[in-house]
A and B are shown apart, each in its own frame.
Chain A
Amino acid sequence: MLSAFRSRGTPARALTHTRLFTSSPRTSTPANSQTVVEQPPTVANSSLLRPERSEALWTPGLRWQDEEHVGDGGRPTEKLNMYQAIRSALQTVMQKDPTSMVFGEDVSFGGVFRCTMGLADQFGPERVFNTPLTEQGIAGFGIGLAAMGHTAVAEMQFADYIFPAFDQIVNECVLAKYRYRSGGMFDCGSLTFRSPCSAVGHGGLYHSQSPEAYFLQASGVKVVVPRSPIQAKGLLLAAIRDPNPVLFLEPKILYRSAVEQVPVSDYELPLGSAEVLQEGKDITIISYGPPLYTIETALHHLRHPGQDLEKLIPQDLRGLSVELIDLRTIVPYDIETVVKSVNKTGRCMIVHEAPSAGSVASELAAEIQQRCFLRLEAPVKRLTGWDTPFGLAYEKFYLPDQIRILDGIIETMRY
Chain B
Amino acid sequence: MLRVLTSRAVLARSASRSFATTTPSAHTPLSALSTTPEFFNSVREGTIPAFRLLGPDGLLTEEAAAREWVERAKQVDGDKLKRMLEVMTMMPILDQILYSSQRQGRISFYMTAYGEEGTVVGSAAAWENDDEVFAQYREVGVLLWRGYPLSDLMAQVFSTKNDKATKGRQMPVHYGSREHHFHTISSPLGTQLPQAAGAAYALKRTPGREKSCVICYAGEGATSEGDFHAGLNMASVLGGPLVYVVRNNGFAISTPTSQQYAGDGIAARGAGYGIETVRVDGNDPLAVYLACKEARRKAVETQKPVLVEAMTYRVGHHSTSDDSSAYRSLSAVESVKKLDSPLHRLRKYVESLDTSSGSGAPLWTAEHDAKFKETSKRAILKEFSKAEKDKKPKLEFMFGDVFAERPSHADAEGNGSGLERPQREQKEELKRLIGKWGETAAWKKELEKFEGGRAAVDKW
Binding site for B on A (CB under 8 A): 99, 101, 108, 120, 124-126, 129-132, 134, 136-150, 152, 164, 167-168, 171-172, 177-187, 189, 219-220, 222, 242-244, 272, 332, 335-336
- Residues of chain B touching chain A, judged by Cβ–Cβ distance below 8 Å, are 18-19, 21-23, 132, 134, 163-167, 169-170, 174, 176-178, 183-184, 186, 188, 191-203, 205-206, 214, 226-227, 229-231, 233-234, 237-238, 397, 400-404, 420-423
A residues near B132, Cβ cutoff 8 Å: 148
Q: Which of chain A's residues have a CB closer than 8 A to the CB of B198?
A: 140-148, 152
Contact B21 A141 (CB under 8 A): no
> A125-B23, A171-B191 provided; 9 other pairs, C-beta below 8 A?
A125-B21, A137-B231, A141-B234, A144-B200, A181-B174, A181-B184, A182-B183, A185-B177, A244-B403
Check A219 against B422 for contact (C-beta < 8 Å): yes
Q: Which residues of B contact A130 (CB under 8 A)?
A: 21-22
Task: Report how far A108 CA is from B198 CA in the complex, Å.
Answer: 18
B residues near A242, Cβ cutoff 8 Å: 404
- Check B227–A131 contact: CB distance below 8 A: no
Query: Given the complex of chains A and B, what is the CA–CA distance between A147 and B205 in angstroms?
Result: 14
Give bound CA distance, A99 to B165, whole Å. Answer: 27
Cross-interface CB contact of A177 among B186, B192, B203, B404, cutoff 8 Å? B186
Given contacts A220-B402, A243-B404, contact A183 B188 (CB under 8 A): no
Which 5 pairs of residues, A with B, have the shortest CB-CB distance?
A144-B198, A140-B194, A137-B230, A183-B167, A243-B404
Q: Which of B177, B233, B404 contacts A187 (CB 8 A)?
A: B404
Contact of B186 (CB < 8 Å), options: A137, A172, A222: A172
In the bound complex, CA of A272 to CA of B406 (Å)? 12
**Interface pair B22/A120, CB less than 8 Å apart:** yes
**Quick check: A129 and B22 within 8 Å, CB to CB?**
yes
Task: A172 to B423: give the CA distance in the assembly, Å.
Answer: 20
A332 with B191: CB separation less than 8 A: no
A-B contact pairs, 6 of them (CB 8 A): A126-B18, A131-B234, A140-B192, A167-B191, A181-B170, A219-B402
Q: Which of A134, A189, A244 contacts B229 (CB 8 A)?
A: A134
**CB-defined contacts of B234 to chain A, threshold 8 Å:** 131-132, 134, 137-138, 140-141
Cβ-defined contact, B238 with A141, below 8 A: yes
Residue from A108, A146, A185, A186 with most neighbouring chain B CB atoms (10 Å): A185
- Compute how far the CA of A126 lies from the CA of B397 in the bound complex, rounded to whole angstroms: 39
Establish whether residues B195 and A183, one from each chain, have CB atoms under 8 Å apart when the complex forms. Answer: no
CB pair A182–B166 under 8 Å, yes or no, is yes
> How many angstroms from the CA of A129 to the CA of B197 in the assembled complex?
14
A30 and B384 alpha carbons, distance in the complex (Å): 84
Question: Are A332 and B422 closer than 8 Å at their CB atoms?
Answer: yes
Assembly CA distance A244 to B418 (angstroms): 13
CB atoms of B22 and A125 under 8 A apart: yes
Closest to A133 in B: B233
Q: Is the CB of B195 within 8 A of A134?
A: no
Closest partner residue, chain A, to B237 (CB atom): A132
Closest to B236 in A: A132
A272 with B420, Cβ < 8 A, contacts A140-B231, A145-B199 known: yes
* Closest-CB distance, A166 to chain B (whole angstroms): 11
Residues of A within 8 A of B193 (CB): 140
Task: Identify which of B194, B397, B422 contacts A141 (C-beta below 8 A).
Answer: B194
Q: Please indicate the chain A residues that have their CB under 8 angstroms from the CB of B183 in the complex.
A: 147, 182, 186
Alpha-carbon distance between A120 and B169 when the two chains are bound, in angstroms:
41
Contact A129 B238 (CB under 8 A): yes
Partner of B195, one of A101, A132, A141, A164: A141
Nearest chain A CB to B373's CB is how many angstroms away? 32
Q: Is B206's CB under 8 angstroms from A148's CB?
A: yes
Residues of chain B within 8 A (CB-CB) of A186 are 176, 178, 183-184
A99, A148, A182: most-surrounded residue (chain B CB, <10 A):
A182
Nearest CB in chain B to that of A98: its residue: B205
Bound-state Cα–Cα, A139 to B201, Å: 14
Chain B residues within an 8 Å CB radius of A108: 21-22
The interface residues of chain B lying within 8 Å CB-to-CB of A243 are: 403-404
A150 to B206, CA, bound (A): 9
Bound state CA distance, A134 and B230, in angstroms?
6
In the complex, residue of chain B having the shortest beta-carbon distance to the beta carbon of A121 = B22
Docked CA distance A171–B423 (Å): 19
> Which residues of the partner chain B approach A131 to less than 8 Å between Cβ atoms?
21, 234, 237-238
Contact A183 B163 (CB under 8 A): yes
**A124 partner residues in chain B, CB cutoff 8 A:** 19
Please state if B186 and A184 are interface contacts (CB–CB under 8 Å).
no
Minimum C-beta distance from A66 to chain B (A): 22
- Residues of B within 8 Å of A146, CB to CB, are 198
Residues of B within 8 A of A183 (CB): 163-167, 169, 397, 401
